[in-house]
A and B are shown apart, each in its own frame.
Chain A
Amino acid sequence: MGYIVIAIIVVILFSLGSALIGMVKGGKEGSEKMFKSLRIRIGLSVFLFALLMFSGFMGWIEPNTTMLPTQ
């Protein structure tokens, strides 16, 4: 599960970087590239959030909220 999450994050970072390239390029073409990449990045982020919440709900992953042992 952890690897799937990390893989999605890598794709999100990639689309964010692609948007940056579009922004630096500028003009009609760059603007188009930027907007499309940002749309992919927000879509994937919402999907990842939903996936995390659902996996936590189903008990596939455990959040870091355990009581800690005292030293």
Chain B
Amino acid sequence: MSNQDYYVPHGTYWPIIGSIGVSTLFVGFANQMHGVEWGGSVMGLGMAIIVFMLFGWLGTVVNESVNGMYNKQVDKSFRWGMSWFIFSEVMFFAAFFGALFYARILSVPWLGGADNNMFSGATEALETSKYIWEGFQATWPLINTPGAVGQSGVEFSSGFKLVDTWGLPALNTGLLLTSGVTLTYAHHALRKGHRNALVFWMLATIALGAAFLGFQIAEYGHAYHDGLKLTSGIYGSTFYLLTGFHGFHVTIGVIMLTVILYRIQKGHFDSDNHFAFEGVAWYWHFVDVVWLGLFVFVYWI
């Protein structure tokens, strides 16, 4: 293998198992949406098949890697694979941050009559009310979708107090940044070959990530109780989309860090050869930076 330029993977059944898992999941999901009784359990079955596939397939890759079946070229392809995945992640969050900026800096002020635009039809401020929504005021955070009551027949809550920036959000930012620090110590320990320190800092990182998730659930409870919902105007929508998908990423990150800790226990890495750790570490730092961006732009600026 090692003197070949191109790695030719052997035949495997894992892709078809993955396809069956994904199909089962979506058949279940579609039926669940139509209120079919068995929809939920079929979804669960599909998810179970996907998890089985992940364990089986990635386990095979790990075994092959540990047994020295991969050459430099495979290592390079893993690195490029990770960077393309990261590229898609960056684009994903860029789209949601973009939606937040667009709503806040452009579209909401336009609806309020800012600039000489087609909504206002005049240079005079607040002319919008004449053409689209009577008496619309461009405020931020905007929690009432103008005209939405008439369209959907749903009354939206209004006039709630946002979650206090000094409370849970600041605490959570502190927790996540601390997890970034502990992960950096773990990285350092791995590079120096200090095994016990590495395990300790990894455990600390995982614990901090889990604590973040717990507080995030608590914060959602508060926000929802105070009347901030996914339907609470463009602010509610972007708030839950950004923080929700971020929380989902933290969940995945905690799972990946746990897998890496398991592989550390198994002795899979040494100080020069630990790409899996590097990939997950970068991912965690990325998720950390996304949260910092959220904290700054949603809660502060």
Known contacts A42-B181, A46-B177, A64-B300: A16-B143 contact under CB 8 Å: no
Cross-chain contact A65 with B296 (CB below 8 angstroms): no
Shortest Cβ distance from B288 into A: residue = A45
How many A residues touch the partner, as a band? 35 or more
Please state if A49 and B173 are interface contacts (CB–CB under 8 Å): yes
Closest to A13 in B: B289
User: CB within 8 A of B159: which of A13, A46, A53, A67?
Assistant: A67
Chain A: which residue is nearest B162 at the CB level?
A: A65
A16-48 contact mask (Cβ, 8 Å, vs B): 1 or 0: 100110011110100100110011011001101
Contact residues, B71-112 vs A (CB, 8 A) = 75-76, 79-80, 82-83, 86
Shortest C-beta distance, B275 to chain A (Å), equals 7
Residue contact B159 to A70, C-beta cutoff 8 Å: yes
Which of B22-30, B215-223, B242-250, B278-286 faces chain A? B278-286
Question: What does DSSP make chain A's interface, helix, strand, loop or mixed?
Answer: helix
**A52 engages B300 (CB within 8 Å):** yes
Chain B interface mostly: helix
CB–CB B166/A56 < 8 A: yes
Asked whether A34 and B143 contact (CB < 8 A) given A12-B289, A45-B177, A70-B158, the answer is no
* Chain B residues whose C-beta falls within 8 Å of the C-beta of A34 in the assembled complex: 278, 282
Cβ of B38 within 8 Å of any chain A Cβ, yes or no, is: no
Partner of A20, one of B86, B141, B158, B298: B86
Closest B-chain residue to A5, C-beta based? B296
Interface status of A2 (Cβ within 8 A of chain B):
yes
How many contacts A-B (CB < 8 Å)? Answer: 122
Q: Of all chain B residues, which has the CB nearest A62? A: B300
Q: How far is the CA of A5 from the CA of B140 in the complex (A)?
A: 20
- Bin the interface of chain B by size: 35 or more
B83 pairs with A20, CB closer than 8 A = yes
Which residue in chain B gives the minimum CB-CB distance to A21?
B83
Of residues 128 to 153 in B, which have CB atoms within 8 Å of A's CB atoms?
135-137, 139-141, 143-144, 146
Q: Is B195 an interface residue (CB 8 A)?
A: no
Q: Is the pair A16, B79 in contact by a Cβ cutoff of 8 Å?
A: no
Of the candidate stretches B6-14, B183-191, B251-259, the one touching chain A is B183-191
B181 to chain A, nearest CB (A): 6
Q: Which of A41, A52, A53, A71 has the most CB of B within 10 A?
A: A71
Closest approach, in angstroms, between the C-beta of B176 and any C-beta of chain A?
A: 9
Q: B293 near A68 (CB under 8 angstroms)?
A: no
Question: Cβ of A20: which chain B residues have Cβ within 8 Å of it?
Answer: 83, 86, 282
Q: How far does the Cβ of B97 sit from chain A's closest Cβ, in whole Å?
A: 11
Distance (Å) between the CB of B76 and the closest chain A CB? Answer: 7
A23 to B180: give the CA distance in the assembly, Å.
Answer: 17
Chain A: CB-nearest residue to B300 = A63
A16 touches B158 (CB 8 A): no
Bound Cα distance from A16 to B93, whole angstroms = 15
Q: Chain A residues in contact with chain B, CB under 8 A?
A: 2, 5-6, 9, 12-13, 16, 19-20, 23-26, 28, 31, 34-35, 38-39, 41-42, 45-46, 48-49, 52-53, 56, 61, 63-71
List the 4 closest A-B pairs by CB distance, nearest first. A63-B165, A70-B159, A42-B180, A70-B158
